[in-house]
A = this chain, B = another copy of it.
Amino acid sequence: MTDIPGFAAIAPQLERLAIEVPSWAYGNSGTRFKVFGTPGTPRSIEEKIADAAVVHRLTGLAPSVALHIPWDLVDDYAALGEHAASHGVRLGTVNSNTFQDDDYKFGALTHVDAKVRRKAIDHHLECVDVMDATGARDLKIWLAEGSNYPGQADLRGRQDRLAESLAAIYDRLGEEQRLVLEYKFFEPAFYHTDVPDWGTSYAQVSALGERAMVCLDTGHHAPGTNIEFIVMQLLRLGRLGSFDFNSRFYADDDLIVGAADPFQLFRIMAEVIRGGALDADSEVAFMLDQCHNVEDKIPGQIRSVLNVQEMTARALLLDRDALAAAEEAGDVLGGNEVFMDAFQTDVRPALAAWREERGLPPHPMRAYAESGYQQEIEESRVGGTQLSWT
């Protein structure tokens, strides 16, 4: 079952696939209606990192953990880095937060009041301090700002202020550091968001400089948006900084990547490969950003990185010469068949073998269930306050 034609040839590229996991995925999350707690949920960033490390240990796919400031603020980042290293992972992207302070009710980097903007800029400068301390390359900025009612805010003035604020942050970056600006269609603002689409993010980062990039969260688009097209375009323009992977049926559902539409994930990975984002010199970062509201968190993360790996393997199997030949011949069904052949290939047995060759468990989900880790944390993590978004 593992002798898929061409599988051996794709192993080097598969080897390069690394997916950063977010620290906050191991805490509780939910909707505005309810956040369900679960036994074993971490009470500290150290426990989150320990959980994240399990994902990497069982899959070999998740070598780094993204931090969220201030949720993951600590006094000693060197110690935190050592803690991570001792668990076999490292600290990754630093995410800022401008959506949970009362001062930001009507905006942060775009606020009409210069004092509030200054506060928000300073928060980002502190995030760069954290990056300096941890050696992180990327500062990821997702802005919750916008407005709920027409007339509440001046769209244009906010956009101009956003440009100024971002420039102040960008100036603080070190030479090896990057600013990555995420866009989002809506939520928590319901009439307008200040960075609603890739075009806005692209226009803003282009004005900053070479080390400003766009972050594409797969759940942050209007219904029906062709996401792989945006992947193609941003790679073509040299501005795709990173992915936030998740999946959705309706809005920003933050479900497990690949769960809602596996074929879409395949198409995205096919465009990732087409655009060179899995090449040896690629600087595109892959990251999860999900909410495990009703499912177990650690296996939820394992499932997620496996889904990305499976669709990446299928996409790597794509016969691009045959595709090109079909396109040149105007053979619509032929091209589609080549494409679907790769998508329909069941790569799971081959990936199980690939794992075993690397000393990893062939079936990470099963390995986790059998590891006893879940029972262990459920029993040991008693008392304290389970972490969540707040």
Interface size class of A (residues with CB under 8 A): 35 or more
A133 CB–B CB distance under 8 Å: no
Q: How far is the CB of A208 from chain B (nearest CB, A)?
A: 14
Interface pair A149/B326, CB less than 8 Å apart: no
The distance from the CB of A255 to the nearest CB of chain B, in whole angstroms, is 6
Query: Complex formed: what's the CA distance from A389 to B35 in Å?
Result: 12
B389 touches A32 (CB 8 A): yes
Partner of A229, one of B102, B112, B192: B192
A149 to B199, Cβ gap below 8 A? no
Whole-angstrom CA separation of A250 from B226 in the bound complex? 10
Contact of A333 among B144, B202, B271, B303 (CB under 8 A): B303
Q: Which residues of B contact A372 (CB under 8 A)?
A: none
Which residue of chain B has the shortest Cβ distance to A105 in the bound complex?
A: B36
Please state if B151 and A340 are interface contacts (CB–CB under 8 Å): yes
What are the 4 tightest A-B residue pairs by CB atom distance, in nearest-first order?
A: A151-B339, A199-B199, A222-B222, A31-B188
Q: Does A249 contact B (CB under 8 A)?
A: yes
Complex CA–CA separation, A330 to B31 (angstroms): 19
Point out which of A148, A159, A228, A324 has the most chain B C-beta atoms below 10 A from its C-beta: A148
Asked if B348 contacts A344 (CB within 8 A), the reply is yes
Report how far A236 CA is from B29 CA in the complex, Å: 35
The reply to whether B250 and A150 contact each other, CB–CB distance below 8 Å, is: no
Known A155-B274, A199-B233, A295-B336; further 19 A-B contacts with Cβ < 8 A: A32-B389, A36-B102, A36-B105, A112-B328, A148-B253, A148-B255, A148-B293, A148-B295, A149-B259, A149-B339, A151-B323, A156-B232, A196-B226, A198-B199, A223-B223, A226-B249, A256-B336, A261-B263, A294-B332
The yes or no answer to A209 lying at the interface (CB within 8 A) is no
Docked Cα-Cα span, A259 to B198, in Å, equals 26
Task: Return the contact of A149 from the options B223, B295, B389 (Cβ within 8 A).
Answer: B295
The reply to whether B335 and A152 contact each other, CB–CB distance below 8 Å, is: yes
Q: Report A23-66 residues with CB < 8 Å from chain B CB.
A: 29-34, 36-37
Chain B residues contacting A256 (CB-CB under 8 Å) are: 149, 336
Inter-chain contacts of A339 with B (CB < 8 A): 149-151
Contact A186–B233 (Cβ < 8 Å): no
Asked if B148 and A332 sit within 8 Å, CB to CB, the answer is: yes
Whether B200 pairs with A203 at a CB distance below 8 angstroms is: no
Contact A155-B99, Cβ < 8 Å, known A149-B336, A223-B222, A333-B303? no
Least CB distance, A260 to chain B, in whole angstroms: 7
Report the Cα distance A271→B157, complex, angstroms. Answer: 12
A345's nearest neighbour on chain B, judged by CB, is: B346
Known: A33-B99, A33-B188, A236-B160. A155 touches B229 (CB 8 A): yes
Kindly state the separation between the CA atoms of A153 and B228 in the bound complex, as whole angstroms. Answer: 13
**Do B190 and A248 touch across chains, with their CB atoms under 8 A apart?**
yes
List chain B residues, Cβ under 8 A from A29.
32
CA distance A33 to B31 in the complex (A): 9
A326-B151 contact, Cβ under 8 Å, with A30-B32, A105-B294, A346-B346: yes
Chain B residues positioned under 8 Å from A178 (CB to CB): none
Contacts A149-B336, A389-B33; is A250 near B296 (CB within 8 Å)?
no
Contact A100 B33 (CB under 8 A): yes
